[in-house]
Structure 1
């Protein structure tokens, strides 16, 4: 074989290899370019929402469980790039978590007393909703509970929240005001625990928030308590100073007081702040 032919074959081989490398490089760059395009779109959407992208953890009173899930979905839809994780429990449990330094960005309690006890850990709170109590009974109200004084019947199994729980404190307040002595079969750590006892038939009646009874309307009946004998629960919301997403947390807390969130809360039965 002549030297010229050999040189031609080597040159052709080099060109072929270079072409293959170029094709491979281009193929690899296509998906990367697509990812860059998506990221740019996401950034623009987040900027347009008026709030920075973030992953927020919100500690919220148990009575907000259903409505906050709806609110969280609405907030994420209107604030692309923000994702919210809720942790629901009795307000006293949430306060303990804050004092222990649990990682979270915002707090919403079912009373101002609990929030006021955390002044060193929170921003300035704002009440976002109010609520009232009702008597929850089994479906169809089989024990014919008509008013608060019926809860004093020794033949009735009544369950209340523990006194350190906001709804338990409100319950004690209204019962004491009417001089009604109730001996509960159990004292629960949250309003949802009280409701569950009634739903399961482990109690004949219990004092819960109006919104909790409404959320379980297919399982329990709600006996209204006159306003003159009732208590008004207030729900303050605040950012947490330990948050690593201060701006995004403040945006969410501010949104809770706005028209979109207020409509969601009031549609669920909560009262205006």
Structure 2
């Protein structure tokens, strides 16, 4: 489910580690960078970090992946970080309102869509959201405060349904894990997460999902120890190379940068 925007991009536990850097002999950033990123970005950002450090060999990047709301809480509690990448605008808004990010550096770099998933053998014979939400079906979704959970609720409401899950998870990866292990009959996850387990889960389309996306914003944190290195990482995420990696992982990216 890889789509490009037609016009504009749709708006829509923690390891302690500091960041110290200088400048390498080629004039680029040098040192270590700490990035807090939504769990759904893990595969793509690991690949982006490989490209970034190849371009800036004096840099290393440390990631802390978790649900976006958890990352905002960690930032607010004083966790060291140079860059924050959220899976939705709402949690970035919370970080901005709390003075945790450098607002002028905030920008949307990608978006994601939601799909339904079932185990390959599909024991509950699920093909629609209505099937997944039926009595007796073990449906797992993200918690409402998590971006994928808020999107799940929104899509269900648009379809005239109220979700009745047996479990609400703090990370989309946990929803995927419960379905791929057979602990759940169905789950609602990002298309990018479903693509991680093609041999273990099947997908089904959600009515209205094409009209609702989660936008992914990124920003330098207000207390970044090296603003130059943080800016360089954000620039790489938004570069042609970074955007190509995101698209390869199933994210929707802007048509032009």
CA distance in 2, matches of 1:250, 1:211: 26
Match of 1:266 in 2: 247
- The alpha carbon displacement at 1:231 in A equals 2.0
Larger radius of gyration: 1
Match of 1:181 in 2: 162
- The runs of at least 4 consecutive aligned structure 1 residues that moved more than 3 Å come to 226-230
CA distance in 1, matches of 2:64, 2:209: 34
Match of 2:61 in 1: 84
Match of 1:118 in 2: 95
Structure 2 gaps, min length 5 = 1-22
**Cα displacement string for residues 83-106 of structure 1 (whole angstroms, at most 9, x for unaligned residues):** 001100000000001101101100
CA distance in 2, matches of 1:59, 1:152: 33
Structure 1 gaps, min length 5 = 1-41
CA distance in 1, matches of 2:133, 2:110: 31
- Please identify which structure carries the higher helix content: 1
Q: 106, 110, 120: which one pairs with 1:139?
A: 120
Task: Say whether 1:223 aligns with 2:209.
Answer: no
What SS does the corresponding residue of 1:93 show, helix, strand or coil? helix
CA distance in 2, matches of 1:238, 1:193: 26
CA distance in 2, matches of 1:156, 1:224: 17
CA distance in 2, matches of 1:237, 1:43: 25
Match of 1:193 in 2: 174
CA RMSD of aligned residues (A): 1.5
What SS does the corresponding residue of 1:270 show, helix, strand or coil? coil
Aligned length: 228
- Using CA pairs under 8 Å that are at least 6 residues apart, name the structure with larger relative contact order, 1 or 2: 2
